Amino acid sequence: QVQLAESGGGLVQAGGSLRLSCAASGRTFSRSAMGWFRQSSGTEREYVASINWRSTVTDYGASVKGRFTTSRDNAKNTVYLQMNSLKPEDTAVYYCAARLGLMSSVANEYEYWGQGTQVTVSS
C-alpha cells in the first residue's frame, strides 16, 4: 500500500513557477513508478509526467515538455514536479499517482492516487 499527499499548489501569474511535492508513505514507494496527472473541470484526466523508481528515466506529456520537470528523493519518500513558464491553460487539479512496475502515461494503470492540489495560473 502507498498513501500519497500532494502539496505546493496555489495561484501564480502566467510565466511564473511552482513546485509541487507528493509525500508518500508505505514500504513500496521506493520501488514504485510515479506519475503526475491533471484535470480541469469538464475535461478528462491528462497525463503530465512520470518517473521510474530509480530516477533514471522521465517522460512528459507534449503540452508540458520543456517547461516541467519531475524528480524524486526516495530517502524522503517524495516526488516533485517543478513547473516553469506556467500558462493559464495549466490551470487544473494536479494529482500524483503510484504504480509498482514500469512508468506509464495511462491513468488507469496507476494503483494509488493522492487527493490532488489546485494550481491556478492567471493571465
Predicted local confidence at residue 112, as pLDDT: 95
Report the pLDDT value the prediction gives residue 17, as an integer from 0 to 100: 98
Closest CA to 3 of 97, 86, 109: 97
3-state secondary structure of 17: coil
For residue 33, give Cα distances in angstroms to 44, 90, 123. 22, 23, 34
The predicted structure's pLDDT at residue 36: 98
Number of H helices, E strands in the chain: 0, 11
- Which tens digit of pLDDT belongs to each residue from 47-74? 999 999 999 999 999 999 999 999 999 9
Phi, psi at residue 90, to the nearest 5°? Answer: -80, -5
pLDDT at 12 exceeding the cut of 80: yes
pLDDT mean across residues, the chain: 95
The answer on pLDDT for 30 being more than 90 is no
pLDDT tens by residue, 64-122: 999 999 999 999 999 999 999 999 999 999 999 999 989 999 999 999 999 999 999 99
Which pLDDT value is given to residue 109?
96
